[in-house]
Structure 1
Amino acid sequence: MKKKSAFNFGKSFQQMKGFKFYHIIIYCLLGVIMFGLMYSNVKPDEINVSIFSNAEKTIVAPHNFEDREATAMLRREAADGVEDQYRHDREKVIQQAERVHKVFDVVEEVQEEIQTIEKPPEQTTTEEADESQEEQVAEPVALTDEEKLSLLKENLVGQVTDDWKKAISDEDYMMLLKMNKAELTTLRNATVTAINNAMSKKIRLEDDVKAAKNDAVQEMQVYGNLPMNVRNIGISLANLAIIPNVIYDSELTQDLRRQAEDTVEPVRISQGDTIVKAGQFVDREKFRILEAAGLVNQSNSITPYIGLAIIISLMVTALAYLFRGIDTSIHSKNTYLTMYLLVFSITLLLLKIFSLFQTLNATEIGFIAPVAMGAMLIKMLIDDRIAIISGIIFGICGSLIFNTVPGAMNYTVGAYLIISAIASVLFLNQHNRRLTILQTGLFVSLINVITVIAMMLLTNRDLSGVSQWLEIGTHSTMAIGSGVVSAVLTIGILPFFEVGFGMLSTMKLLELSNPNHPLLRKILMETPGTYHHSVMVANLSESACEAVGANGLLARVASYYHDIGKTRRPHYFIENQMGRSNPHDKLPPQTSRNIIVAHATDGAQILREHNMPKEIVDIAAEHHGTTLLKFFYHKAKEKNEEMTEEEYRYPGPKATTKEAAIVGTADSIEAAVRSLNNPTPDKIESIVKAIISDRLQDGQYSDCSLTFKELETVGKSFCETLQGIFHSRIEYPDATKKKGDDE
């Protein structure tokens, strides 16, 4: 009953693998498993903290972040420390001097106008007097001081401001009008010079204005060629003209304040920094930092899960891309995906289990994680490229699984896991014995120790203390354990995949090549000639496959079993007759044909009954393809001219892999060469070329991927191997004859 249930489960599983969207289901399962195992590593800690209370536990920063409020406060302080900026407006002195010039210009213009009005009429001749005797002669007009002052003030309108007009007394105006041009020019120059000299300095405050005016007064007083009352007019004008010449520069002030703000470094809180210690009072400042870190009211935050989902999606997408180009000549892509899902899940689960022993004081427990196990299994069962990419994915997942703060990544452990996994893939290039896996584990241990020491040296640690050397020793021990444990687990887990999925790994092939295998012993005991023939075919096939990049070990092992069908009727095959009469001499050609052809199908059936790998079964069934039994065909043709070749051909199928094609060719070549009485290199080469050419023309290579170039390489390999087997030997004298000669 149990056997039936197991059979039904296996049948159901095979049907499920044939489902159209099976690969999508596997990718989704990969994502779900990764998310489920890393969910707790990104889930924010539940922190019950409130302002003006004592913290229940020590709270550390979950990630690097900037304290924006503290940074803004420091920048405001830096900007406030920059004083208002002022600039010396040199155009002020020009403007004020121009006003003084306008006063003197107006005075000179009014003087000219007064002269024109008061100018006496010119003397005329007698003739002119006679002609204009009827006209009245204009009398000269003398203007009063009030009229002159009024005329001056009218002309000053629009030239100077009212405060200037009011600041100069009428007496000063009249004094200016009575001065000659030279005196006005001297006073003008003295006043403008005093203003220029006084305003060449920065004048900002009221005290600065007073000082500048005093300087102008002192300078005016040195002009001794001007009367005191005249100099006072210049002093009055200078006092009016001297004003503040420093103005507020808002643009410069803002630039300097921005520069001061830029010099302030942002206040950053590093991941792992302690924000509040257990039992410490949480004041406003501490609570504000907790809010900035996102530790307050974070139970409803979904951003960590979104980030995790995105990372997982990228990794699954990369795997899907790699699996698109995987070789499916041996197993289907769905079979490989199923194995990958199991290996990946086991590896990730082991990482998660080891992370449970992690504490804040021993964060490097990840150094013992056997990540190389997953990489080696994927390489041996699936593909090298996928194994390397998987090593990188293991490292990324490990950096999250072995983190100390939710959502953070432990880059040290992540890099260590990547190096460890890739090292195992690169070293495991010839896994022909179980011992090689152990050697790979030791090599990975060495690489792990070197990596751990390098990472510790990168942190610039002081290695003079005993504790530091003790730490190095502890980490190195874990690194060695990682490699050894990975190798042991790989050897232990690999057989389950080989049996469960019918995988033909190298170790499985080596086990099948053991002479003590029941089927090989059956061949040896029942068909010794066939056994010897199979060994010769194995030698030929292995070297030829390796020459064209095919699986030489598979070809060798398949050659051992390819003629096992002959064990059902061993004496009907010439290599097993051992001097006996040939039974085919007494049989009709059709019966002989049936017996000979049946050994391929019988062999495949026997191998299937013993649960042999599909690759070996296929080679046993395909090694003759649809070739013609020429001897019996021609024998039948002699009796019946209407006999067709199709009746005397093997049922096939043709070889679908390089290994099957090479084993079939080697089978024919070995039998042909063995039939030669004196096989010379030329004869061997001639037979090899003839058989390969005959099979090529017969279309026996049409279903496999062998190229013409590879067929040429295969032929050369066959010739070299056969010449080594059938090389010429030294002819030793007969032992009896030698004894007689000695006597």
Structure 2
Amino acid sequence: MKIKSLLNYKVFTTIIFILLALLIYGGLYHNVKPETYDVELFSVAEKTIRSPKTVEDEAKTEEERKRAVDEVEKVYVFKKEIAQNRISLVTSIFDFVLDMQEDAKSGTPNDSTDASEKQAAPLTHEEKLELLKETLTKNVSEDVTKAIPDQIFSTLLKASNEDLTKAKKEVGKQVEGIMDEKIREDQVSKIKEDIAIKIGNSSISDHLKEAAIALAQYAIVANDIYDPQLTEEQKSYAKENVEPVKILQGQVIVQEGHLIDRETYRQLELLGLLKSNPTVKPYIGLVIFVFMIIGTLYLYFYNMKAPEEKKQNYIFLTSIILIIALVLMNIIGFMRDLQLNNIGYIFPAAMAPMLIRIMMNERFALIITIILSACGSIIFHDHITGTINFEIAIYILFSGLSGVMFLSNRNQRPNILQAGLCAAVVNIMLIFFILFIGGGQFTRIDYLYNVIYAVVSGLSSAVLTMGLLPFFEAGFGLLSTMKLIELSNPNHPLLKKILTEAPGTYHHSVMVANLSEAACEAIGANGLLARVGCYYHDLGKTKRPHYFIENQMNIHNPHDDLSPETSRDIIVAHVTDGVHMLKKNKFPKEIVDIAEQHHGTTLLKYFYYKAKKENEDVLEEDFRYPGPKPQTKEAAVVSIADSVEAAVRSMSHPTHDQIKSLVQNIIQDRLQDEQLNECDITLKELEIIKNIFCETLNGIFHSRIEYPEFKKQKEKKHAISD
């Protein structure tokens, strides 16, 4: 703590977070450090080696993809329109020849001849041939004159119309019959031979068969066409559908006594299990993990609305609790060498969350639970370094949450044990959930051991919490809810002292406590702290109880015989005396602050004006409390409640309107006197406080029926006083 006082907040937190990060890294290092082996190619394995993780074997995956691509056949597209085009082409050739034959008989030239040729003599065979070729060149999309020899056209021109017509039909029929079927490029030659045989065996005139065969073979082309684009698409689809080849976590890479061949050696190298080729990825991953933990803690404390000194205590406390939890995890982790299955379930998972819940708050306890469950998943790995045990992570998470939840509304120390028992029950349920959902086969002894682990985990969490709590509270000066409840016990020696020596003050303190607690809870402040602070805020009055009006039971007021200055000193002294007594009894700083600040620097008006009558030169500062002014919302609420309760108690039969006006005036007076300038209370919260005070006071000082006997006595008393 001395070191902490020498360092400012930023330097201290930076040092603590760095040390905590190093300790967490060191605590988890052994569990992520990959186990490497000193093996050589073609040597014999001295032990069975298993994969510590699941990784993709990219070389094997690529090999499988290449094989899948090679297995894809070429994609062909059957185009029916090609058949019709080829039939039309070959019949068109016959039609052009028939047309020329008809023109020759009638003496009418072809439409393609010019005017001068219409008057010419009949064409010779050679001229007909040239004219036919010219006509085909102009009217047919393909240059058939180059593909088909002139001899074929010459034969056609010499044939009769009847033979041509017959040949045309036969060739068209054969071509159509063949082209209706799928023909690939490598089949064309064979099919041309087949069609030549068919036409050769047909009834076509012998002198036309050669020409018919030539035209038919020319018409035969491939109609089942190779499509490179579709083929590539099929290859891509096949490649994408190959599942990545993976080496699974826990998979045996090589059995003990087996030869380490090239494939095995390659897999060991890929997994980073060779000492000659270590991997740094696990260490980088651990650095990222630790950074996330420290970042989470830093952001939480950065956004925490608390004094820097209090933050420092909380940071140091959190670090110690985390380190204790990690040490316990590692100790239990080393016990796995005893061949005890699921020994990790014995870890007191609810300890750290319950400690944080009691000394800080529920929200941060949940954050610590999540952090510990993540750390536990690394430490309690399944005998394979670098793996994550999600089962133990779930176990630690829900066990820690159960401890926090069952403790939420049970803040007394004995209830820690009850929370531990409840956590043990939850642990048993979690273990059976994990065992049953896995569907494994377990003996009765296995179930018995697991139940024992669960019970020990819950009970040890409670025992460690109760054992460590006093040390943390004393060492860090923390004010936990449990500590406040202990201080509120009426059997506490100082409360007994107030009750016996200053009963009026005790009653006043209880009334102020009721007002303060209700108001603080309404504005989100610590109501329990305000209540306990009220119990002790006037402790100093026990030194001279009869000098305070609430303790003057049918006795003469001693202030009537004292000078204003002496009365002032006695009244002011109750604050300093109370603070001294609280510090002597080692009360928490928050309680001492409320006692010290509940009057702020307010003016003792009665004695000031009394002194003013005797001496006009009296200074107002001499009749003010020494302060300091309220620094927290709780101290401000207690300060206002103290004045309000005393003022209302002095009124006879206060009405609702009178109480409301009185509370409003007191709050307004505090504002004008700048007594609330040093705390972060808002005007909206003051309005809420006013309404709560009015509601509570109306309930306390409600009108009561006066019985006749009491009424007569009261009238007699008033008559005597008159």
TM-score of the aligned structures, taking structure 2 as reference length: 0.83
Contact kept in structure 2, 1:107 and 1:152, CA below 8 Å: no
Contact kept in structure 2, 1:67 and 1:268, CA below 8 Å: yes
The verdict on how the C-alpha distance between 1:696 and 1:35 changes in structure 2, with shifts beyond 3 A counting, is same
Contact kept in structure 1, 2:86 and 2:220, CA below 8 Å: no
1:663-683 CA-to-partner distances (Å, cap 9, x unmatched) read: 33444455556657xx64x36
2:418 to 411, 416, 439: 439
Please identify, of 71-80 and 373-382, the stretch whose mean Cα deviation from structure 2 is larger.
Answer: 71-80
Measured after TM superposition, the shift of residue 83 of structure 1 is: 3.9
Aligned equivalents of 1:576, 1:206: Cα separation in 2: 122
2:293 to 311, 315, 324: 315
Please identify, of 577-586 and 493-502, the stretch whose mean Cα deviation from structure 2 is larger.
Answer: 577-586
Measured after TM superposition, the shift of residue 484 of structure 1 is: 1.5
Q: Secondary structure at the match of 1:282?
A: coil
Measured after TM superposition, the shift of residue 281 of structure 1 is: 2.3
Contact kept in structure 2, 1:199 and 1:212, CA below 8 Å: no
Aligned equivalents of 2:670, 2:515: Cα separation in 1: 22
Contact kept in structure 1, 2:129 and 2:154, CA below 8 Å: no
Partner residue of 1:32? Answer: 22
Please say if 1:235 is aligned against 2:225.
Answer: no
Which amino acid counterpart does residue 340 of structure 1 have in structure 2?
T
The verdict on how the C-alpha distance between 1:252 and 1:563 changes in structure 2, with shifts beyond 3 A counting, is closer
Which amino acid counterpart does residue 14 of structure 1 have in structure 2?
S
1:566-616 CA-to-partner distances (Å, cap 9, x unmatched) read: 344445344556666544333211121112112212221332233321111
Which amino acid counterpart does residue 497 of structure 1 have in structure 2?
F
2:379 to 401, 416, 432: 401
Aligned equivalents of 1:408, 1:562: Cα separation in 2: 57
**Percent identity, aligned pairs only?**
40
Partner residue of 2:668? Answer: 696
Measured after TM superposition, the shift of residue 34 of structure 1 is: 1.6
The verdict on how the C-alpha distance between 1:548 and 1:360 changes in structure 2, with shifts beyond 3 A counting, is same
Contact kept in structure 2, 1:101 and 1:188, CA below 8 Å: no
Partner residue of 1:7? Answer: none
1:562 to 512, 534, 537: 537
Which amino acid counterpart does residue 662 of structure 2 have in structure 1?
A
Partner residue of 2:363? Answer: 385
Return 5+ residue gaps in structure 1 as ranges.
1-9, 119-137, 733-743
Return 5+ residue gaps in structure 2 as ranges.
110-118, 138-142, 711-722
Please say if 1:12 is aligned against 2:3.
Answer: yes
2:607 to 626, 629, 632: 632
Please give the residue correspondences for 1:213-252 in structure 2 after superposition, counting only pairs within 5 Å: 213-215=193-195, 217-218=197-198, 221-223=201-203, 227-239=205-217, 241-242=219-220, 245-252=223-230
Contact kept in structure 2, 1:106 and 1:156, CA below 8 Å: no
Aligned equivalents of 1:501, 1:715: Cα separation in 2: 39
Contact kept in structure 1, 2:501 and 2:542, CA below 8 Å: yes
Partner residue of 1:707? Answer: 686
Please give the residue correspondences for 1:231-630 in structure 2 after superposition, counting only pairs within 5 Å: 231-239=209-217, 241-242=219-220, 245-297=223-275, 300-328=278-306, 332-359=310-337, 362=340, 364-404=342-382, 405-459=384-438, 461=439, 467-514=442-489, 517-520=492-495, 522-523=497-498, 527=502, 530-531=505-506, 533-546=508-521, 548-575=523-550, 581-630=556-605
Q: Secondary structure at the match of 1:371?
A: coil
1:300-347 CA-to-partner distances (Å, cap 9, x unmatched) read: 422211111112222322222221221315953222222222222222
The verdict on how the C-alpha distance between 1:174 and 1:697 changes in structure 2, with shifts beyond 3 A counting, is closer
Contact kept in structure 1, 2:52 and 2:385, CA below 8 Å: yes
Aligned equivalents of 1:560, 1:516: Cα separation in 2: 12
Q: Secondary structure at the match of 2:425?
A: helix
Q: Secondary structure at the match of 1:698?
A: helix
Q: Secondary structure at the match of 2:350?
A: helix
Measured after TM superposition, the shift of residue 385 of structure 1 is: 2.0
Aligned equivalents of 2:588, 2:9: Cα separation in 1: 23
Aligned equivalents of 1:195, 1:695: Cα separation in 2: 112
Measured after TM superposition, the shift of residue 658 of structure 1 is: 3.3
The verdict on how the C-alpha distance between 1:325 and 1:247 changes in structure 2, with shifts beyond 3 A counting, is closer
Please say if 1:194 is aligned against 2:184.
Answer: no
Aligned equivalents of 1:306, 1:650: Cα separation in 2: 61
Measured after TM superposition, the shift of residue 54 of structure 1 is: 1.9
1:345-389 CA-to-partner distances (Å, cap 9, x unmatched) read: 222222222222225965532222223211122222223222212
Aligned equivalents of 1:114, 1:58: Cα separation in 2: 100
Q: Secondary structure at the match of 2:587?
A: coil
The verdict on how the C-alpha distance between 1:629 and 1:102 changes in structure 2, with shifts beyond 3 A counting, is same
Q: Secondary structure at the match of 2:253?
A: strand
Please identify, of 478-487 and 700-709, the stretch whose mean Cα deviation from structure 2 is larger.
Answer: 700-709
Aligned equivalents of 2:573, 2:512: Cα separation in 1: 20
Q: Secondary structure at the match of 2:628?
A: coil
Which amino acid counterpart does residue 270 of structure 2 have in structure 1?
A
Please identify, of 172-181 and 609-618, the stretch whose mean Cα deviation from structure 2 is larger.
Answer: 172-181
Please say if 1:178 is aligned against 2:150.
Answer: no
Partner residue of 1:98? Answer: 89
Aligned equivalents of 1:210, 1:538: Cα separation in 2: 111
Contact kept in structure 1, 2:357 and 2:365, CA below 8 Å: yes
1:236-264 CA-to-partner distances (Å, cap 9, x unmatched) read: 54345545554544444444444444454
Q: Considering only CA atoms, is the larger Rg found in Structure 1 or Structure 2?
A: 1
The verdict on how the C-alpha distance between 1:106 and 1:577 changes in structure 2, with shifts beyond 3 A counting, is same
Partner residue of 1:165? Answer: 149
Measured after TM superposition, the shift of residue 410 of structure 1 is: 1.0
Aligned equivalents of 1:509, 1:183: Cα separation in 2: 124
The verdict on how the C-alpha distance between 1:155 and 1:551 changes in structure 2, with shifts beyond 3 A counting, is closer
Contact kept in structure 1, 2:599 and 2:629, CA below 8 Å: yes
Measured after TM superposition, the shift of residue 95 of structure 1 is: 4.7
Give aligned pairs, total: 687
TM-score of the aligned structures, taking structure 1 as reference length: 0.81
Please identify, of 29-38 and 240-249, the stretch whose mean Cα deviation from structure 2 is larger.
Answer: 240-249
Over the residues paired in the alignment, what is the CA RMSD in angstroms? 4.0
The verdict on how the C-alpha distance between 1:111 and 1:35 changes in structure 2, with shifts beyond 3 A counting, is same
The verdict on how the C-alpha distance between 1:728 and 1:406 changes in structure 2, with shifts beyond 3 A counting, is farther
Please give the residue correspondences for 1:654-669 in structure 2 after superposition, counting only pairs within 5 Å: 654-669=629-644
Contact kept in structure 1, 2:27 and 2:330, CA below 8 Å: yes
Aligned equivalents of 2:278, 2:127: Cα separation in 1: 92
Q: Secondary structure at the match of 2:606?
A: helix
The verdict on how the C-alpha distance between 1:637 and 1:240 changes in structure 2, with shifts beyond 3 A counting, is closer
The verdict on how the C-alpha distance between 1:710 and 1:56 changes in structure 2, with shifts beyond 3 A counting, is farther
Measured after TM superposition, the shift of residue 503 of structure 1 is: 0.9
The verdict on how the C-alpha distance between 1:199 and 1:551 changes in structure 2, with shifts beyond 3 A counting, is closer
Aligned equivalents of 1:288, 1:353: Cα separation in 2: 36
Aligned equivalents of 2:297, 2:276: Cα separation in 1: 33
Contact kept in structure 2, 1:441 and 1:486, CA below 8 Å: yes
Contact kept in structure 2, 1:685 and 1:719, CA below 8 Å: no
Contact kept in structure 1, 2:515 and 2:693, CA below 8 Å: no
Measured after TM superposition, the shift of residue 390 of structure 1 is: 1.7
Contact kept in structure 1, 2:4 and 2:12, CA below 8 Å: no
Q: Secondary structure at the match of 2:335?
A: coil
